[in-house]
Amino acid sequence: MNAVLIYSGGLDSTVLLHHLHQAGNELAALSVNYGQRHSREIECARQQCARLGIEHRVADLRSLAPLLGANSLTDSAVDVPQGHYTEETMKATVVPNRNMIMLSVATGWAISRKSDCVAYAAHSGDHAIYPDCRREFAEALDAAIRLADWHEVHLYRPFVDWTKADIAKRGEELGVPFAETWSCYQGGEVHCGQCGTCIERREAFYLAEVDDPTPYAMEAPTVDQLVAQFWRLS
């Protein structure tokens, strides 16, 4: 199979890169610069691809930021919310129609290079606050992508029924260098450890029982601290 992978440089898509590469597929990887604070992930993506000898391109969509409105991923005046993704405040991280825009650009490239599919690392834990992470959205878009050209391209989402912990486990099997992936939505030197993506990343390693080599600005609480907090809140 010949695939264009939408490749953020985060945990999920890096595991997918190695997963598809190890299975012998021909790959090309596309990162999208939409003006995100965490452009450091693109540098991680570049390094992984160089290591595996995979062509890597960056679609520069920064010029679209004024059209897509203020959100905390692209606008430094809007704070990145902290805490777990289930909270209402995480809506501040929504970039309107981001997935369709990325997938349509990747599809254009896939058509141009006669690839069979556009692969991306959507998984079962992707959130209802991101409507364009829902399965029915991806299925409808897949139908449109298949009709977009005489050379048929389809969407490929091998992780769609996996949890993020399943992905971490698969990454460990593949020997993915987790420390060279980037998840944090803040633009700091190390992962902040407390934004929504950091919390999910930590949780995935914890649930998968996989060692997390990521340095975090905020350490995970110890069991003693959790017990103390429990009694304070009781």
Q: Give the residues lining the site for its own copies (CB under 8 A).
A: 30, 57, 59-61, 63-64, 66-69, 95-101, 103-105, 107-109, 111-113, 131-132, 134, 136-137, 140-141, 143-150
Question: Is 161 part of any known ligand binding site?
Answer: no
Nearer to its own copies, 60 or 173 (CB): 60
Q: Do the annotations mark residue 10 as ligand-binding?
A: yes
Residue 37 Cβ vs its own copies, minimum distance, rounded to whole Å = 18
Q: In whole angstroms, how close is the CB of 208 to its own copies at the nearest point?
A: 30
- Greatest Cα pair distance, the chain, in angstroms, is 64
- 4/165 with CB nearer its own copies: 4
Q: How far is the CB of 185 from its own copies (least distance, A)?
A: 19
- Of the pair 109, 216, the CB lying nearest its own copies is at 109
- Please report, in angstroms and rounded to a whole number, the separation of the first and last CA atoms in the chain: 55
Sequence-separated contacts (24+) of 17-26 with Cβ below 8 Å: 17/48, 17/49, 17/52, 17/54, 18/52, 18/171, 18/174, 18/175, 18/176, 19/158, 19/170, 19/174, 20/119, 20/158, 21/52, 21/54, 22/174, 25/1, 26/1, 26/2
- Nearer to its own copies among residue 52 and residue 105 (C-beta): 105
**Residue 16 among known ligand-binding residues:** yes
Phi, psi of 67 (to 5 degrees): -75, -30
